[in-house]
Each structure stands twice: as C-alpha cells, then as structure tokens.
Amino acid sequence: MTTTPNRKNAIEKAKGMHDVLRGEYFLRKKLIEKAENIASFYGFEPIQTPHVEKAELFTATVGETTDIVEKEMYELKMKGNDKLVLRPEGTAPIARAYIEHGFHTKPQPVMLYYHGSFFRHERPQRGRRREFQQFGLEILGEKDGIADATIIKTLLAILEETTGLKPFVRINSIGDGECRKIYQKELVSYYRRKTERLCKDCKSRLRVNPLRLLDCKNEECVKMKQEAPQIINYLCQDCTNHFKSLLEIIDDSDVSYYFDHYLVRGLDYYSRTAFEFFVEEDPGTENAGLPPLELGGGGRYDSLISALGARAFRELEARSELTEF
C-alpha cells in the first residue's frame, strides 16, 4: 500500500536548486557537446577545476566589496583553519590552475574551455538559480585584441548553434587601473550630488566600489546613470588603441554590436574590454515586454595573475562565460 506524503512534512530540494530530469538531462548533454565541438574547432582545449576552492582565491581576485564575496559565496564549515567555498565563478580557478600547473611554460596563448556547476546565494529569479550550469572560454597569454575578438566570435557561434537565437552584443571598454582611477573620481563627483536619490546598496558602493553604481538595477539608479560621465572619454592612449583595434577586428568579422557606454562587469579583476550577449523576447510570447534576456558575458582581466601573487605573468587575457542554458 502506498500513501501520498503530506507536502508540509516532505523533504524538498533546497531553495534555488534544480532537479535535472531525463528530458532536460539529454537536452543539456546535447547542448554541451555542441558547445565543446565549436570550442575545439576554434582551438580551445578542455579543463575542469574543483567545485571547492579556497575562499581567498575569490577575495583576492573577484573583490572583497563585490556582491559575490559580500553576499553570495557558500562557505563550508571545516574542522581545520581552511576557509573553503563552493566556486561562484570560473575564471579565478582557471587563473590559479594556469599558475599551479605551469601553463606559462607552454606555447602562448593558452586557450581553454570548461563547464560545470557554480554556486551563488542570490535571490532565485528568471534565468538565475543558486546552482547554475556555466560554459566558459578563457584565453591566457595574449595581449592583442585578437583574443577578445576570438572569445566574442566563438561564443556567438556557440549561442547561435545551441539556442537557435541571434544574440546581440553590447560592448564597452572600462580602461585599465590607471585611467579608471581618473574616471572613478569624476563618477564619484557626479553621484555625490545625487546621494539622497541612491538606493541603499549604491550609497555603500559610492564609498567602496563606485564603478558598481553603473551596474545597479534599481529604477531610480538606472535613471541617474543616463547622465553619468562616460568612461570612453577618460581612456588612456593604450586603452583607446586597444579598443579601436578590437572593434576593427570584429567589424571585419561581421559581428553585430553596439556601444553601451555604461556597461561594466561586477567583478574587480576586469580591465579594458567588457561585453554581454542578449536576446529580445518574442513579442508573441508571455515574456514579451520584459527586459532583454542576458545569455552571457565577459571581458579582459590583465592583472588577475599578478593579483594571485605571480607578478611575472601579468598578461592574462580575454575572458567570457555563458550563463545557464
């Protein structure tokens, strides 16, 4: 005899997690295989890093004042003194592996792809879960804009093949550490005159991480952003030349894109190029009228290796990721 369990007393999956059943399992498998084949065609090789990493790997690279470190990392309780976390993103572990396994001794650039589960304790919403699947590409050891262009072109091919959609690309340059300092002073000066209108999080960001003001989704903060200074006007000559070179390459590749002068990425290790992929919702669907759906994004991280303590390997380039299929 079987009985129907009382739903109030039933053990259920944790909030923000997801059971992958048969149909979805084989669909995901098919999509990942397609993505791997395309990445391999463009010269990328596979790598798989652990689900568990030391917490300082992310505090030293992602940034202690980012939402990931402050609010979203899953910390593990250990008997010893080690502070371990479930990996919230894929690039910092790849950079660690690059150093730890001596990838710098191999012919450069090193081109890698990866996929797997990642974990962030954030509010579950459309397109976001606390455990999510991610496919990513990394190019390390190439300072030219060809690395950025290769990432963008490869990811577009993967997205079009696996989703059947035609994403559009938003792109911007956020400069390097030097020209970004000048820009941030102007940005802070602009927002200080409007402090009373900022949301609670942005009031804190104004003090500790002003670039993140441009990434806020609060309606009032989005309105204020439209008149904020544009970083393109503060780029140094090297960053300007790099950005022009990148745009020339993707123009020659017939990649459709447009400038988003306020596009930034929410991690501290980014420099110069930042980009995201979006699709508009079909007007005939129930999601019509919603904001464009983000499919992925990325950028450069020229100083990430030095942030991990290996100052001899400063040029670690073009990074991208695909969020959950």
> Can you name the residues that pair with 46 across neighbouring β-strands?
113
Contact 216, 235 (CB under 8 A): no
pLDDT at residue number 281 = 55
> What is the signed CA dihedral for 305, 310, 314, 319, rounded to 10 degrees?
-20
Number of H helices, E strands in the chain: 10, 11
| Sequence-ordered list of residues with C-beta below 8 angstroms from that of 213, at least 6 positions apart, any chain | 187, 191, 198, 202, 205, 206, 221, 225, 228
pLDDT (tens digit, 9 = 90+) per residue, 204-233?
Answer: 889 888 988 998 888 999 999 999 999 999
Which pTM was predicted? 0.84
In the chain, the domains with their CATH numbers are 22-166+280-322 (3.30.930.10)
Cis-peptide, bond into residue 50, ω within 30° of zero: no
- Rounded CA separation 114/122 (Å): 23
Which of 21, 291, 298 shows the shortest CA–CA distance to 135?
298
Q: Please list the ranges in the chain whose pLDDT falls under 50.
A: 283-285, 287-288, 311-325
- Rounded CA separation 62/212 (Å): 13
pLDDT at residue number 105 = 87
Encode burial over 288-308: b for 16+ CB neighbours within 10 A, e otherwise.
eeeeebebbbbbbbbbbbebb
pLDDT at residue number 93 = 94
pLDDT (tens digit, 9 = 90+) per residue, 64-89?
Answer: 666 777 778 899 988 777 899 999 99
Edge-to-edge strands, sheet with 84-86: 52-54, 84-86, 74-76
pLDDT (tens digit, 9 = 90+) per residue, 234-253?
Answer: 999 999 999 999 999 998 98
pLDDT at residue number 82 = 83
